[in-house]
A and B are shown apart, each in its own frame.
Chain A
Amino acid sequence: MTELNVIGKSVARPDAFDKVTGGRHYPVNISMPGMLHTKILRSPFPHARIVAIDTSAAEQLPGVKAVLTPKDVPQRPFTPVYFVPVESKSMVLDFVIMSDTVRWVGQPVAAVAATSIDIAEAALELIDVEYEELPAVFDPEEAMRDGAPQLHEHAGNNIAKNPSLSIGDLEAGFAEADHIFEGVYQTQRVHTCYMEPRVCVVDSDSSGRLTVHSSMQHAFGLREKLAFALGLPESRVNVIKPPYIGGGFGGKLDLGFIEPIAALLSLKTGRPVRAEQTRGEDFISTARHPIKVFLKTGVKKDGTFTARYIKSILDTGAHATHGSEVIMVHGLYGAFFPWKCPNQAWEGFTVYTNNMIGGGYRGYGAPQGCFPIESQNDEICEALGLDPIEFRLKNTHREGDPHPVLEGHTLSSYRLDECLRRGAERIGFDQRKKAGSSPGSIKKGIGFACHPLWVSGCVGFPDIYEHAGAMVKLNRDASADIISSCVDIGSGQTTMLCQMVAEELGLDIESVRVVYADTDTAPFDAPTHASRATYSAGLATKAAAVDARKKLFRVAAIVMEANPEDLEIENGNIMVRGAPDSSVPMADIIARAESPFIQVGEQGPFATTLEEKGTIIGSASMSPPTNPSPAAAEFVELEVDTDSGEVKILRVVYAHDIGRLIHPNSAEGQVEGGFQQGMGYALMEHLQFDQETGACLSGDFLDYKIPTAVEMPAKIESIFIESNEISGPYGAKSMSEMCIIVPAPAIANAIYNAIGVRIRDLPITPEKILRALGKI
């Protein structure tokens, strides 16, 4: 691959100083004169009809400016998910901001805007709500039974969606098998634990036009969904893109309750209204869906798959929202297509329950597919005495194969084999001992998992936004401004865009900035999700920089009396290729483009050309050409204390086919952060609810446990394989989600190797380990 100046270097991130000094531009720090504060009254019941709401006492409390109840809220259902059209046919449209029926503990039933948070809270206590309780159901399989409490009229047996996929002849495939393996695998509800809460400030002007600040992952999605929720034309809503947010991880990928509530209260009062969720509210606002997977696989003696049947039951909670799409991604990219099997069938069920509504979370259904499949793959290898790495390679794709999901596309760069080989070598996989064979009560284990198929964006999905856009404006001091609505959710999108523009324009990184943008001024960009920003927003921004350079060369060619095709840029200078003496500072060319036609020099006035005039702006708005798959394998070494069941992760090796590294430190950060979340998923994280009342039992970090620095392994080694994806910017494809899909099965397989007993439900707590060992 060609050596580049800025790409591939861990340049200083422009947002880093701001963040380590308090992050004053986080949306949570937005404040406006005259701003009101809102608090939301939430249902204490999991299922009830609201008979009456009396807000009169709250309205009379001094400092209270407005109160909102379901009757003030439009009742036309939509999907709050940012990345699809608001009335997408692929989604179940069942969501309204406030309703007379409550279906989960925590559903908003009223809201107050007041001059202080304390007054708003006090006012909530004065609102009198009369409920008629209804029977509730919390278990999705129970919810599917005849006679179970029904949540929505349109969904018989509470089944919101029931997609399926199949190829070949399943029965014949199982008949052909030498061995059949069956297992039931269960994943739990977990939260992304972004650091900045969901927060917004919404202002309205005298014409009723809204300006919205929010901690979210998609400016245009927020504009579209908020406008729809309020029944406004889109152009009446302007969403400010925050320069950075305090993490998203998929947890800020939908219209929350706070933005429309703050907007309605702002329209009522004519004042800016701020809403900030507490950590407890955040915990019941979004979560990765629990999915129970029934998995049956037929294999030949040599480990070749002959048949596979997969059934997935997803608990979507009170509304379908993300559950409409997570089930699809889980089926397509998490379960059905990653592995090659001639006879295969998958059936998915998105099921309503009186639990909290699920949301987005890195991996979006794939972690719930990879855990069962990679666990069972390990079980097959163990039972049949097969080499687990050869087994994986035998049953999945190779570079140059047709793309398993996208017809007419190929896996043009694809190095799963190299990920497995190099990862195995680094951790010393050939030294791995037989399962459960290590002596003493503290047992060591090594395990791994891979995921053979993922995305670099959304091309090829029905109904999902994929296009991106950017503008690049050159300044007379030889610097460039990028106008982009791509939200930096913490993983370095802003830095990456600057690197690409700096590379194309021959500038140093300090001369390129991502500047203010909002939905009024910037072109559309799909959300920061689906591992797409580098590939998709990167391609569009690079194209905008190329466009700016083309225009720059057009002016330079006039000034330098050269052919634009012969020009090149180096270190801020433009020159004719091969003639360094011709070099002219880029700043001079930009200045010429912006200067008057008649100029006055030492010798008096002289004319320039009209053709060279005009601010140099490059722009692009485009869909990415394809959806290349990264590949990854993760190897984990750990020890299990078989007296207490405690697990200590000792070492992690992660190998990832990234196409091309753009910013090595940020890529490593993704791997480490992904492992932390994946390790929490594997071992301890669990959003728990009382099974009688539906109340959250883990609403803060004392009860919701995530790995801290103390539990993290001392060493996480990243191996990046640069396969040079031909369609990607500089050869790049995606990074972010693979590194959270693989940790849970890798850890589960390592635990099996340590203790010789298989645990099929997450999280694998010390207690489950002791039970599996028969000690309790």
Chain B
Amino acid sequence: MALTSVETFHQPETKNRVAELLQEHEDRAMIVAGGTFLHGLITRGLIYGIEALIDIQKLGLDYIKPVDEGIEIGATTRFLQLQESALLRDNAALGAIRDALEYPPMQIMNSATIGGCVASSCPFFDLPTSFLALNALVLVHGREGGREIPLSDFFTGLFENALQADEFVVAVRIPGAGKGCASAFVKLETNANDLAILNVAASLQMDPAGHCQAATIYIGGGVGESVVRAPSAEAALTGKKLDAGSMQQAAAVAKNDVDPLSDHRASAAYRSAMTAVLLERTLKRIQNRPG
């Protein structure tokens, strides 16, 4: 299925021009960078009436830089660039990102971009789940200028988000974490080029005695319209020593936080059971990750 309706392909060189073009074409324009999501939509016949593609690769948004205590990742940064970044190395707080980048096949690693995987607003993707657990912010730009949106407010539904018609994603910012913070991510998949049947990311702030001071846990992949937070599991860990007992307890209550769906890939019962298994695996990873 070709995208026959496309009439123009823009390659603007400024963020303001992108916002103008988005305004001009209203909902008949799409941002493109790596093109992997667009390709998926086209081959599945899920996209109609797009008259303009706006390529944002000339905006200089492929970068990863330290900001305050955290990092900022430009929207057109490829997965592979992020994986190879020295800023990710030996940083237990960013472990969830490293884990999430272990799963995609090389073709996706080479083409898919950080901005694309967030803006797609698909609950079956991996990196957004790990970003959520790290309290990421989305930097967006529109005709009125730039603004920051907490990622947890950014996703509003399946393929839906808080972007205005003239806005697009320019970067993702991961705030700095204190000492003793570690995170991890785990995905359940059928083969190496699968969307998540289920995925889990957790970030724990530990005190020197090994107690969990704060926990942030998100679960994605067919457990809701968007990736969902797991407050019951977080509560089960907060104030506890991270050991087999507390991990099992958190895993056991996590299913209260999800409302999984049944589809041709897995039943709700299986997804629900896997919530516990995957969360326990994620917590074990954190346990083995020196903070």
CB pair B273–A711 under 8 Å, yes or no, is: no
- Cα distance, A700 to B203, chains bound together (Å): 35
B156 close to A (CB within 8 Å): no
A707 close to B (CB within 8 Å): yes
Cβ < 8 Å to A, chain B residues 2-25: 2, 4
A117 close to B (CB within 8 Å): yes
CB pair B265–A703 under 8 Å, yes or no, is: yes
Q: Mark A670-705, 1 if CB is under 8 A from B, else 0.
A: 000000000000001000100000000111111101
CB pair B105–A705 under 8 Å, yes or no, is: no
A766 close to B (CB within 8 Å): yes
Q: Which residue of A lies closest to B195 (CB)?
A: A702
Q: Which residue of A lies closest to B198 (CB)?
A: A644
Which residues of B lie under 8 Å from residue A278 when comparing CB positions?
Answer: 1, 43
Q: Mark A94-124, 1 if CB is under 8 A from B, else 0.
A: 0000000000000000000000011001100
- Cα distance, A703 to B265, chains bound together (Å): 8
> In terms of DSSP, what is the predominant structure of the interface of chain A?
loop
Q: Which residue of B lies closest to A705 (CB)?
A: B190
- A side interface size, CB within 8 A: 31
Interface residue from B2, B191, B194, B277 paired with A643 (Cβ < 8 Å): B277
Could you say which of A278, A699, A701, A705 has the most chain B C-beta atoms within 10 Å of its C-beta? Answer: A705
Q: Which residue of B lies closest to A708 (CB)?
A: B192
A776 close to B (CB within 8 Å): yes
Q: Which residue of B lies closest to A699 (CB)?
A: B44
A425 close to B (CB within 8 Å): no
Interface residue from B4, B193, B195, B266 paired with A767 (Cβ < 8 Å): B266
CB pair B194–A705 under 8 Å, yes or no, is: yes
Could you say which of B105, B191, B277 has the most chain A C-beta atoms within 10 Å of its C-beta? Answer: B191
A1 close to B (CB within 8 Å): no
Cβ < 8 Å to A, chain B residues 260-291: 264-267, 269-270, 272-274, 277-278
- Cα distance, A697 to B265, chains bound together (Å): 10
Interface residue from B2, B43, B188, B270 paired with A700 (Cβ < 8 Å): B43
Which residues of B lie under 8 Å from residue A775 when comparing CB positions?
Answer: 273
- Cα distance, A766 to B190, chains bound together (Å): 9
Q: Mark A117-141, 1 if CB is under 8 A from B, else 0.
A: 1100110000000000000000000
Which residues of B lie under 8 Å from residue A118 when comparing CB positions?
Answer: 2, 4
Cβ < 8 Å to B, chain A residues 318-343: none
Which residues of A lie under 8 Å from residue B265 when comparing CB positions?
Answer: 703
Chain B nearest CB: distance from A150 CB in Å? 28
| Contact A701 to B273, CB < 8 A, known contacts A118-B2, A118-B4, A767-B266 | no
Chain A nearest CB: distance from B55 CB in Å? 21
CB pair B264–A711 under 8 Å, yes or no, is: no
CB pair B273–A776 under 8 Å, yes or no, is: yes
A177 close to B (CB within 8 Å): no
Chain B nearest CB: distance from A293 CB in Å? 24
| Contact A702 to B191, CB < 8 A, known contacts A118-B4, A121-B1 | no
Which residues of B lie under 8 Å from residue A684 when comparing CB positions?
Answer: 190-191
B245 close to A (CB within 8 Å): no
B35 close to A (CB within 8 Å): no
Which residues of A lie under 8 Å from residue B43 when comparing CB positions?
Answer: 278-280, 700
- Using a CB–CB distance below 8 Å, which chain A residues touch chain B? 117-118, 121-122, 278-280, 643-644, 646, 684, 688, 697-703, 705-711, 766-767, 770, 775-776
- Using a CB–CB distance below 8 Å, which chain B residues touch chain A? 1-2, 4, 40, 43-44, 105, 188, 190-195, 264-267, 269-270, 272-274, 277-278
17 interchain pairs (CB within 8 A)? Answer: A118-B2, A121-B2, A643-B277, A646-B188, A697-B264, A699-B44, A700-B44, A703-B265, A705-B191, A706-B191, A708-B191, A710-B192, A711-B192, A766-B270, A770-B273, A775-B273, A776-B269
**Ordered nearest first, which 9 A-B pairs have the shortest CB separation?**
A710-B192, A767-B270, A705-B190, A697-B264, A708-B192, A688-B264, A776-B269, A643-B277, A118-B4
